[in-house]
């Protein structure tokens, strides 16, 4: 080895020894839930100045499918909470990891497929959203509110089955959250039952102080029969415009499919919901 190579290694050695620093975006916690009778893992991300400014309180964003979107949401939140125009106030982000998405996020048990048909060998599954909702709002939220400086404002984000859960919560238990963001909600579930019931569910309700965003991938897959878009369009065009005093936004993403729409939908949803 030449002297010059030895010198370079010697000069870079301090950088490798002392210049390394872990990048930590959150912490992992486990809650032994009495509602679901299992251990549920969740991740917490705190605002940048949480420890420095002990007088500040924060809204809480509850992110379903946290194992898929936690890192992305933190990046989105940092982008939209900085710069010349701030869209999102500093927030505590709670990402809930999955065990059984079908069980937890669907409001009814069903054996039907995306085309609305039931195959002879299909077995009903799902229907546990009420139990999961109790865990989320009665158990987990109690822990979060007692451990952190929350301000009583709560947001729910979900995609696909989790988007269905988000919309079902909005329609049936509107009071549980202040802001709802649903991306490509699986409204085909159980032959579109939630969409069909939605008109009755909003009747007589006052949505003052509530905000809802729905993002939809509008690229259709020609090889798949799917009642999803019909059910979504009915909700968007016929039902939600009748919701009294609701702050409502929606957007179609013609270049995205169901699998790719989540991140652009969450980004656009936050911009619209908090850009007013």
**Residue 162 near residue 132, CB atoms below 8 Å:** no
Name residue, tokens 């490798």: 16
State the fold for domain 24-274.
Answer: Rossmann fold (3.40.50)
Residue 196's Cβ-side half-sphere holds a number of Cα atoms within 13 Å equal to 7
SS3 178: coil
Output the CA angle 56-175-79, nearest 5 degrees.
Answer: 45
Angstrom distance (rounded) from CA 22 to CA 41: 22
Q: What is the reported pLDDT for 227?
A: 86
Predicted confidence (pLDDT) per residue in 176-190, tens digit: 999 999 999 999 999
**Is the dihedral angle over the CA atoms 199, 205, 207, 208 positive or is it negative?**
positive
Token pair in block for residue 225: 């029969």
Token pair in block for residue 104: 């937890």
Return the axis-axis angle of helices 262-274 and 66-80, rounded to nearest 10°. Answer: 40
This prediction's pTM: 0.90
C-alpha dist (Å) from residue 152 to 61, 73, 89, 230? 11, 20, 14, 36
Q: What is the reported pLDDT for 2?
A: 56
DSSP β-ladder status, 179-183 and 91-96: unpaired
Angstrom distance (rounded) from CA 131 to CA 219: 33
Q: What is the reported pLDDT for 8?
A: 47
- Going from N- to C-terminal start, the domains of the chain cover 24-274
Angstrom distance (rounded) from CA 95 to CA 99: 13
For 157, other C-beta atoms within 10 Å of its C-beta total 29
Intervals of the chain under pLDDT 50: 7-11, 223
**Residue 244 near residue 213, CB atoms below 8 Å:** no
Helix (H) or strand (E) holding 267: helix 262-274
């Amino acid at each position: 080895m030449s002297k010059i190579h030895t010198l370079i290694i010697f000069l870079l050695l301090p950088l490798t020894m002392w210049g390394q620093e872990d990048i930590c975006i959150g912490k992992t916690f486990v809650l032994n839930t009495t509602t679901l009778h299992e251990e549920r893992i969740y991740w917490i991300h705190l605002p940048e100045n949480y420890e420095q400014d002990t007088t500040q309180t924060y809204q809480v964003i509850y992110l379903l499918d946290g194992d898929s979107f936690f890192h992305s949401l933190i990046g989105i939140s940092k982008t939209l909470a900085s710069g010349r125009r701030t869209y999102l106030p500093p927030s505590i982000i709670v990402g809930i990891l999955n065990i059984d998405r079908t069980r937890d996020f669907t409001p009814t048990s069903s054996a039907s497929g995306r085309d609305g048909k039931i195959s002879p060998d299909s077995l009903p599954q799902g229907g546990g959203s009420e139990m999961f909702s109790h865990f989320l709002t009665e158990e987990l939220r109690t822990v979060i509110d007692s451990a952190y400086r929350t301000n009583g404002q709560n947001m729910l984000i979900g995609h696909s089955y989790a988007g269905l859960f988000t919309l079902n919560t909005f329609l049936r238990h509107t009071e549980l959250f202040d802001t709802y963001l649903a991306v490509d909600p699986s409204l085909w579930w159980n032959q579109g039952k939630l969409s069909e019931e939605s008109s009755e569910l909003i009747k007589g309700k006052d949505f003052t102080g509530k905000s809802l965003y729905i993002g939809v991938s509008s690229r259709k897959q020609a090889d798949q029969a799917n009642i999803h878009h019909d059910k979504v369009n009915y909700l968007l065009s016929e039902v939600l415009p009748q919701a009294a005093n609701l702050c409502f936004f929606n957007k179609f993403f013609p270049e995205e499919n169901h699998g790719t729409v989540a991140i652009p939908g969450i980004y656009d949803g936050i911009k619209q919901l908090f850009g007013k």
